Amino acid sequence: MSTYTSANVWPVWTSTSYTTSTVSQSSDATSTWGGWVGCDYSNGTSATTSTITYTDSSAIWVYWAEEPTLKAISKEEQTANDERWAKEREESRKRAKKLEADKKAAEKKAKELLLDLIGEDELKVYEETGRLFVKGRKFDYIVNKGGYVQKVDKNKIIDLCVHIQNRYTYPETDNVVGMKLAIEGNEEEFLKIANHHSPRDIGELPRAACM
């Protein structure tokens, strides 16, 4: 902590003309503020007084306190800027529209794959609920379209944090299919990989599509 006596903190702080200034401060010549404003401490008249010489013209505060250079924009420049910004907004809108179209097409493909696994009637249930019931060798599971899995253990349900690698680069239903295949293919490995959270009692299982 520095104690300034011969110069107030704020005038020194906001000064943009750095020559020399003598202030009474702590004997720590490596103070944070000294490094910030680019000053060099030389020997003072006592253990608590140093002469501060501002030598660094690239000091952070010099740039911070420097008044901005204002320039008027002509009508022609403003028109050109408006046209450029309008073009950038339109290009951004087109990219977002294409991304959304690609996402819908990918999700449609993923549902076609799921259709092969569960049939049309159950696919309708899945589209309504966003949930798929999967029966493992040891436990039952509810795989949610939103990206999480719940393990059913007698009258309890346990949240499992597990998903396919790079899940957010794939359609939601791809993750559902991946979780179904992982559970049915190697349930023990699936449970080993998953993080288990929030076991709680459950009265009735939510509606979900199944085989």
Mean pLDDT within 7-14:
52
Joined together, the tokens standing for residue 6 give 């011969």
pTM of the model: 0.58
Residue whose structure tokens are 């239903």: 173
- Is pLDDT above 50 for 6? no
Q: What is the structure's pLDDT at 37? A: 57
At 24, the pLDDT band (50, 70, 90 cuts) reads: very low
- Is pLDDT above 90 for 138? yes
For the segment 82-112, what is each residue's pLDDT rounded down to a tens digit?
999 999 999 999 999 999 999 999 999 999 9
- Is pLDDT above 80 for 198? yes
For the segment 160-197, what is each residue's pLDDT rounded down to a tens digit?
999 888 878 889 999 999 999 999 999 999 999 999 99
Q: What is the mean pLDDT of the chain?
A: 78
Q: What is the structure's pLDDT at 66? A: 63
Buried-state track 3-23, b at ≥16 Cβ within 10 A, e below 16: eeeebeeeebeebeebeebeb
Identity of the highest mean pLDDT range in 42-46, 56-60, 123-127: 123-127
For the segment 110-132, what is each residue's pLDDT rounded down to a tens digit?
999 999 999 999 999 999 999 99
> Based on the number of CB atoms within 10 Å of its own CB, is 126 exposed (0-12), middle (13-18) or buried (19 or more)?
buried
Question: Which carries the bigger pLDDT value, residue 56 or residue 137?
Answer: 137
Mean pLDDT within 59-67:
59
- The answer to whether 50 touches 28, Cβ cutoff 8 Å, is no
